[in-house]
Amino acid sequence: MKAKPENVLTGSHYLDGNHASAEGAIAAGCRFFGGYPITPSTEIAERISQRFPRIGGIFVQMEDELASMAAILGASNGGVKSMSCTSGPGFSLMMENFGLGIMMETPCVLVNVQRGGPSTGLPTLPGQADMMQARWGSHGDYEVIALAPDSPQESFELTIHAFNLSEKYRMPVLIMTDECVGHMTEKVVIPSADEIDLVERKYTDKKPGEAWPYEWNGKSIPPMLPVGKGYKFHITGLTHDEKGYPVINAEAQEKNVRQLIDKVKKNADDIIWLEEWDTDGADIIVMSYGISSRVARPAIAKARADGIKIGQIRMITVWPFPEKRIRELAGKVKAMVMVELNHGQVYLEMDRCAAGQCVTAVVGHSGGTVHKPDDIYKVIKDVVK
């Protein structure tokens, strides 16, 4: 279905990434926001708090991040598209209930505007060091979907995309942006409502009393049950069966966890979104995501001008990791270089998938600013040697 015209601020705007993300959420039909302000993500909450009262949305400033995450799960199960935003310290606090969202298969969107860490670190400066936390931050075994925008325009678009993925796969979806993109202001072109495709929630077509909240069939994503329409159901963070009630044994665990993992792994080709330039015939490939993929481009252009056969992969989806593509390319190239604002997190995945087929390297950074293109260029030149 298409977006509703009253939700879409069609036109050209000069917006930062955070404001653009808020507009993306509204265009996607988000109508509940529960959050706790934290730099550098606050502008998302701020804009939503100003826009929601006029369009019938509910904004609640919660007492902390634990409650924020819990509130958006509740709202979503109540039938409303919901989201929250945060940064490093708040992301840590949200991890427990993020896992609850995974286990309860609850669609929602969480934006992490990454700043420098660990701990309170650098509130007003960028980092990309929560990438592995996004992947493994909550306990237990599960898969996640995480997207990384490189501009305000893409912050708008990927927020809509995140809502669509969350409804399609019935799970929380992460937007792992950073302070640089969040606070960067650029032209954002918002299309008309009829150009925005939305995935609407799939509810059961069975009658009350005949439907369960988790009708796993190993193929399609189970439809949700609507509240307030006579369906009586139970959902829990405990290992459960299709009826949503706890079943504490290994068989139920196998079925439950398998569902959480398979729905992402088996649909990886649909979820993974990469942008590739000149990867065919390349000797060296530079991989990165978010702001780092953007500042890597001048370095790549410079290396190409030196005669190096170089290509680039920009991961718009970071999780699930594009394993298949990397294994395939690693057998054809001499080297792969990861550029990220940490000392090698997503690099570990690239290196694992390359599996010794080619040389790998990381252009690491402690955060606080973005890479200087020349630093990336130097590593490219070193690797070529």
Partner 1 sequence: MATTEIRITGFGGQGVILCGYVIGKAASIYNNQHATMTQSFGPEARGSACSAQVITSDERVLYPYVTAADILIAMSNDGYTMHKDSMDEKGILVYEKDLVTPKKLGKDMKAYGVPATRIAEELGRKIVLNIVMLGFMGAVTDVVPMEALRKAVQSSVPEGTEELNLKAFDRGCEYGLDLKGKGATKTQEKAAL
Q: Interface residues with partner 1 (CB under 8 A)?
A: 12-14, 39, 123-124, 180, 183-187, 291, 294-295, 297-298, 369-370, 373
Q: What is the DSSP string of 192-251?
A: -GGG-B-PPPPBP-SPTTT--S----SSSPPPB--SSSS------SS-B-TTS-B--SHH
| Minimum CB–partner distance for residue 183 and partner 1 (Å) | 6
Yes or no: say if 343 and 325 are a contact pair by the CB < 8 Å rule. Answer: no
Residue 123 phi, psi (nearest 5)? -55, -35
Q: What angle do CA 354, 355, 359 make, to 5 degrees?
A: 60
Angstrom CA distances, 339 to 24, 344, 363, stand at 27, 8, 5
| Minimum CB–partner distance for residue 301 and partner 1 (Å) | 9
Smaller CB separation from partner 1, 206 or 372:
372
The tokens describing 265, both together, are 């792994």
| Minimum CB–partner distance for residue 373 and partner 1 (Å) | 6
| Minimum CB–partner distance for residue 26 and partner 1 (Å) | 21
Length of the chain: 385
Angstrom CA distances, 30 to 16, 52, 69, 276, 289, stand at 19, 9, 15, 31, 26
Smaller CB separation from partner 1, 226 or 298:
298
Smaller CB separation from partner 1, 186 or 323:
186
Smaller CB separation from partner 1, 254 or 374:
374
| Minimum CB–partner distance for residue 288 and partner 1 (Å) | 12
Smaller CB separation from partner 1, 92 or 369:
369
